Amino acid sequence: MRETETAQAQSNYSYRQSVTIDEFDGHGAKSGGYHEIRDIIFSPRQERTEQMIGKPADTLSRLKLTDEDFRDVREVQPFLLTNDQVFLYETHFRGEEAMDGVDCYVIQIRPRQILQGQRLFDGMLWVAKLDYSIIRSEGEAVPQVRTLKNENLFPHFTTLRQKVEGDFWFPVTTYGDDTLYFRTGPQRMRLVIRYSDYKKFGVDSKITFKN
């Protein structure tokens, strides 16, 4: 897989990341939500940084977002299996499948172990046969946290990629519609993350995805 090269290419791009989380009551009606927009940009010193656009809108009443949730948004849901992470996972070949017109190998990956403080990915990858690019990932961030005093549960999600620079595939959409089974009862939630306006550092043109 060419994830390290993809990560290196993506590190030269600024882009916009919008996050929307909706919660639903027992009748399927929306009961609250969260929305934020961040630009991942380069500072005047050419350092990569984040800039919040406006203030987050938070009307969630049933769910409470945690540091782990925001870490997953930045690290796990736009998952890149770079060389410095490969040793953390075991992989299993699960077959072949055409995905969005691309012939792919289907690979299951699971953490070998999870150390305290780690957030990792557990799920499936669709890897293009042609050049070993990952074009789709589906799974969940782990570990799910269940203690006597605390429950911190995380949804199943799918991340889709599209070609941006040459033949490199960057994340463009993450979505999930899942029910989290807390001790207090089930809670349905929906997650949508969009990555748009990819713009190479020092280049005026940009690529905007419409989803």
Per-residue pLDDT, 206:
45
CATH 2.60.420 assigned to 3-200: no
CA distance 23 to 103: 36
pTM given for the model: 0.90
Buried b / exposed e over 88-127, threshold 16 CB at 10 Å, is bbeeeeeeeeeeeebebbbbbbebeeeeeeebbbbbbbbb
Amino acid identity of residue 32, one-letter, is G
Q: What is the pLDDT along the chain (211 residues), one digit of tens a residue?
A: 899 999 988 888 999 999 999 999 989 999 999 999 999 887 666 677 889 999 999 999 999 999 999 999 999 999 999 999 999 999 999 999 999 899 999 999 999 999 999 999 999 999 999 999 999 999 999 999 998 888 999 999 999 999 987 789 999 999 999 999 999 999 999 999 999 999 988 654 444 444 4
Residue 161: is it exposed, middle or buried by C-beta count within 10 angstroms (0-12/13-18/19+)? Answer: buried
Per-residue pLDDT, 45:
65
Q: What does the domain layout of the chain look like in residue ranges?
A: 3-200
Per-residue pLDDT, 211:
44
